[in-house]
C-alpha cells in the first residue's frame, strides 16, 4: 500500500503539470485543429490559465475566486464543438460535453440537470483510475504472470531438497519469461475467475437508488454462485486477470477521493445547444413549457451548489461551464437574466469564409484530405489532391452554404463524399496507381448541384 501512495502523489503532481499551460501554448495547440476563431481561443485559454493561477493561491483567497463561465455564440459548423473536443484531449482534466436540449425540468420525464455533475465525476474517476493503472503497470503485469505461472507450473511438494528448489526456481524464471514473451499464449489453463462487482453508472438515477441497485447485484451474485472455473488460453487469461489485478492493487477509496477533488477544482462542462432552452419572443408560448424550468434548475448548478453522487458530495462552485449555441431563432437575452449573469464572458465566433474552408482542408493536423488519402491508401491507392482542387472544393462548399442552410465546415464532408463516392467504390481498380483530384474533376462533379438551388438542398 505504501508504494501505491507514493505513486499516487507522483501522478497528482503530473496532473498539475498538464494544467500548467500558458495561454499562448493553449492557443498554439488549438491552432493545429481549429482554423480562425482567435477571439474564442484567446478567451478560453485565459479562462483555463486563470484556473491554474487560482490553484496556486492560499485557501482563503482561492475559495473567493469563482470561474468566469463562457458563452460562445456562432452558427453550426464554425468550430464550437471542435474546440471543446480538443480541450478535453489537451488538458486531461475531467471534461464532459452535454446538450442542454436533453435535459428536462424536475417533474418531466427525462434527464435532470444534476446528472451532468455525476457524469463529470464518472469521467474524473476514469482519468484517475487510468493514471493509477499506468503507475502500477509493473505490479499488475507481475500479478498476471504469477497467477498464470502457478497454473502452468505446479508448486513443489513440501520437504523438497535444496537442489530441487534451485532447479524449480530456474524453471519458474524461464516459465515467466516465456509467458511474458507470448510463447505460451496458445496453451490452455483452468482459471478461477473472480466475480466482479457490477457498477451501475446510470447517472440519471439518484445516488441512493444507484447504491440500492448495486446492493441487489451483490446479493444476487452471492445467491447464484456458480462454478467460476473456466478453460481459457493463456492469452485470454492475461486479459481476464487484468481487471482482477487492478481491483486488488488499486485503492479505489483514494482514487474516488482524488477524482472528486479534480472534478471540483478542474472540471469543465461544455453545455452545447443552450439556445434550444431559451424562450424566444417568436415562440409565443408554443415551446416546451419545461424550457424555462430547465434554466431555473441549471442556475444553482452553475452558481454553485452541492450535488450528491454515489462517490460522495461534490461542490460545483469552481467547475467551469462553457456554453455554446447558434442562437438563430432565439438570442442570448432570451435566457433568464440570472442565467445570463452566470456567463460573463461572451465571444462570437465568426462565419467561415472561402479562405477559412481552404485552410481547414489543407492546414489542420489530420485534415479531411489527409484522412481520405489514408483511407484509400489501405486499398493500395495513392490519392493526390491538387492545390487548385482544394481551393475549388472550398469555393463550392462556401457557395453551397450561402445558397442552402449554412452548416459551416460540415459542408466539406458532404462535398468530399460527393466527389470521391465513385472513386472510393472502384478503389480496387486503382491498386498501386495514382489518382489525381483536379479542379476540373471537382467542377464536373459539383457545379450542377451547387448552381441548382433546389438540387443543392437535397444533395449538398
pLDDT of residue 237: 85
Helix (H, G, I), strand (E, B) or coil at 185: coil
pLDDT in tens, 96-144: 999 988 888 765 656 788 999 999 999 999 999 999 989 888 998 988 8
How do residues 19-28 score in pLDDT, each as one tens digit? 678 899 999 9
The cell numbers describing 17, all together, are 503539470
Higher pLDDT pick, 6 / 445: 445
Average pLDDT estimate for 212-226 = 53
Mean pLDDT of 294-319: 92
Domain ranges in the chain? 2-128+256-348, 157-248, 354-448
Does 11 have pLDDT greater than 50? Answer: no
Separation of alpha carbons 233 and 218, rounded Å: 28
- Read off the pLDDT band of 192 (50, 70, 90): confident
| Of 283 and 405, more confident | 405
Q: What pLDDT does 393 receive?
A: 93
According to the per-residue pLDDT averaged within each range, which of 205-209, 404-408, 412-416, 443-447 is highest? Answer: 412-416
Domain 354-448 top-level CATH class: mainly alpha
What pLDDT, in 10s, does the model give residues 358-417?
A: 999 999 988 999 999 999 999 999 999 999 999 999 999 998 888 877 888 889 998 999
**Higher local confidence (pLDDT), 413 or 223:** 413
**pLDDT classification of 354: cutoffs 50, 70, 90:** very high
| 351: pLDDT strictly greater than 50 | yes
**d(Cα 137, Cα 240) in Å, to the nearest integer?**
15
The answer to whether the CB of 363 falls within 8 A of the CB of 356 is: no
> What is the model's pLDDT at position 270?
93
Question: What mean pLDDT do residues 174-181 have?
Answer: 86
**pLDDT at 10 exceeding the cut of 60:** no
Share of the chain above pLDDT 70, in %: 83
What pLDDT was estimated at residue 4? 33
Residue 296: all three cell numbers together = 431555473
| Superfamily name with CATH number, domain 2-128+256-348 | P-loop containing nucleotide triphosphate hydrolases (3.40.50.300)
**DSSP calls for 283-306:** GTT-S-THHHHHHHHHHHHHH--E
Between 160 and 387, the higher pLDDT residue: 387
What is the per-residue pLDDT for 209? 58
Q: Which residues contact 448 (CB under 8 A, 6 or more apart)?
A: 455
- Of 410, 412, 394, the closest CA to residue 358 belongs to 394
For residue 459, CA distances in Å to 80, 140, 391, 438 come to: 25, 53, 20, 21
Region 169-196: mean pLDDT is 81
d(CA 217, CA 212): 9
pLDDT of residue 76: 86
Locate all alpha helices (DSSP H) within 19-79, ordered by sequence: 23-31, 38-55, 59-62
CA 165 to chain centre: 51
Q: Residue count of the chain, please give it.
A: 460
User: In the predicted model, what is the mean pLDDT of residues 249-260?
Assistant: 91
Amino acid at each position: 500500500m505504501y508504494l501505491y501512495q507514493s505513486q499516487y502523489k507522483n501522478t497528482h503532481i503530473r496532473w498539475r503539470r498538464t494544467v500548467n499551460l500558458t495561454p499562448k501554448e493553449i492557443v498554439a495547440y488549438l491552432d493545429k485543429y481549429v482554423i480562425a476563431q482567435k477571439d474564442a481561443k484567446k478567451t478560453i485559454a485565459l479562462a483555463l490559465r486563470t484556473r491554474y493561477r487560482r490553484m496556486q493561491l492560499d485557501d482563503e483567497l482561492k475559495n473567493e475566486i469563482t470561474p468566469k463561465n463562457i458563452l460562445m455564440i456562432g452558427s453550426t459548423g464554425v468550430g464550437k464543438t471542435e474546440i471543446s473536443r480538443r480541450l478535453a484531449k489537451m488538458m486531461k482534466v475531467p471534461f464532459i460535453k452535454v446538450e442542454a436540449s436533453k435535459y428536462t425540468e424536475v417533474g418531466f420525464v427525462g434527464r435532470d440537470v444534476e446528472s451532468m455533475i455525476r457524469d463529470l465525476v464518472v469521467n474524473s474517476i476514469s482519468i484517475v483510475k487510468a493514471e493509477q493503472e499506468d503507475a502500477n503497470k509493473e505490479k499488475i503485469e507481475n500479478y498476471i504472470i504469477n497467477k498464470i505461472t502457478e497454473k502452468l507450473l505446479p508448486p513443489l511438494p513440501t520437504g523438497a531438497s535444496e537442489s530441487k528448489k534451485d532447479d524449480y526456481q530456474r524453471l519458474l524464471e524461464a516459465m515467466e519469461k516465456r509467458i511474458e514473451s507470448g510463447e505460451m499464449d496458445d496453451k490452455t489453463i483452468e482459471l478461477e475467475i473472480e466475480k466482479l462487482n457490477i457498477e451501475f453508472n446510470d447517472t440519471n438515477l439518484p445516488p441512493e437508488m444507484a447504491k440500492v441497485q448495486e446492493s441487489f447485484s451483490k446479493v444476487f451474485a452471492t445467491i447464484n454462485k456458480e462454478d467460476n472455473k473456466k478453460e481459457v488460453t493463456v492469452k485470454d487469461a492475461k486479459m481476464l486477470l487484468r481487471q482482477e489485478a487492478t481491483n486488488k492493487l488499486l485503492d479505489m477509496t483514494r482514487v474516488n477521493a482524488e477524482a472528486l477533488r479534480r472534478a471540483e477544482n478542474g472540471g469543465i462542462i461544455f453545455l452545447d445547444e443552450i439556445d434550444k432552452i431559451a424562450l424566444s419572443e417568436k415562440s409565443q408560448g408554443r415551446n416546451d413549457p419545461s424550457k424555462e424550468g430547465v434554466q431555473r434548475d441549471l442556475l444553482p448548478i452553475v452558481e454553485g451548489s452541492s450535488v450528491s453522487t454515489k462517490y460522495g458530495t461534490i461542490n460545483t462552485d469552481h467547475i467551469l461551464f462553457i456554453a455554446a449555441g447558434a442562437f438563430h431563432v432565439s438570442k442570448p437575452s432570451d435566457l433568464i437574466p440570472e442565467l445570463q449573469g452566470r456567463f460573463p464572458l461572451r465571444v462570437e465566433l465568426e462565419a467561415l469564409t472561402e479562405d477559412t474552408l481552404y485552410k481547414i482542408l489543407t492546414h489542420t493536423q489530420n485534415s479531411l484530405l489527409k484522412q481520405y488519402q489514408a483511407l484509400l491508401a489501405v486499398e493500395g491507392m495513392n490519392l493526390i489532391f491538387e492545390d487548385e482542387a482544394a481551393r475549388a472544393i472550398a469555393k463550392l462548399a462556401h457557395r453551397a452554404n450561402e445558397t442552402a442552410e449554412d452548416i459551416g465546415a460540415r459542408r466539406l464532408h458532404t462535398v468530399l463524399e460527393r466527389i470521391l463516392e465513385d472513386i472510393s467504390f472502384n478503389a480496387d481498380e486503382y491498386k498501386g496507381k495514382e489518382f489525381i483530384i483536379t479542379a476540373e474533376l471537382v467542377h464536373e462533379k459539383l457545379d450542377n448541384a451547387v448552381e441548382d438551388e433546389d438540387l443543392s438542398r437535397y444533395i449538398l
